[in-house]
């Protein structure tokens, strides 16, 4: 006999179902299929959510269901979950694209500011060199005038 039994697993999975609602699993076949699906996820690399005495994926999946570490969904809930996951993935992608766009804009603004600062420095150097030339010209003119007075 398996521990936990099929009926124990079914009772655990259906424990959150309110009176009058259809149970999530209503046959041994359904609970085995749900558990096997989780076992395939473990085989494909998903991390086990519990430590089990046995390291076989199906045994781990049974233990996860028994301890309520995984939730078995009916077809409608599974479709809603899948749609929500896809929407979340889409929103994440949009957010990443927006972040990348803002980073590009900030880089362009920083580059533009750098170019403007370099241009201002060149203008300032040009003005200083004109002032030096003017001062030198005045100095030559003053020297010529003082030579003429002598």
What is residue 139's predicted lDDT score, i.e. its pLDDT? Answer: 63
Is the Cβ–Cβ distance between 17 and 23 less than 8 Å? Answer: yes
User: How much is the pTM?
Assistant: 0.53
Kindly report the number of other CB atoms within 10 A of residue 117's CB atom: 10
Domain boundaries, the chain: 6-72, 74-150
Q: Residues 69-113: pLDDT tens digits? A: 988 877 777 788 889 989 999 999 999 999 999 999 999 999 998
Mean pLDDT across 13-28: 81
Q: At a CB cut-off of 8 Å and minimum separation 6, what does 76 contact? A: none
Q: Residues 59-71: pLDDT tens digits? A: 999 999 899 898 8
């Amino acid at each position: 006999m398996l521990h936990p039994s099929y009926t124990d697993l079914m009772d655990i999975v259906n424990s959150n179902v309110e009176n009058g609602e259809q149970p999530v699993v209503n046959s041994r076949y359904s609970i085995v299929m749900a558990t096997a699906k989780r076992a395939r996820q473990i085989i494909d690399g998903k991390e086990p959510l519990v430590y089990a005495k046995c390291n076989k994926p199906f045994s781990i999946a049974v233990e996860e269901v028994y301890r309520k570490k995984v939730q078995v969904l009916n077809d409608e809930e599974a479709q809603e979950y899948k749609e929500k996951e896809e929407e979340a993935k889409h929103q994440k992608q949009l957010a990443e694209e927006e972040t990348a766009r803002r980073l590009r804009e900030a880089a362009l603004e920083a580059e533009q500011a750098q170019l403007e600062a370099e241009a201002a420095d060149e203008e300032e150097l040009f003005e200083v060199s004109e002032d030096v030339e003017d001062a030198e010209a005045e100095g030559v003119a003053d020297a010529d005038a003082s030579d003429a007075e002598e």
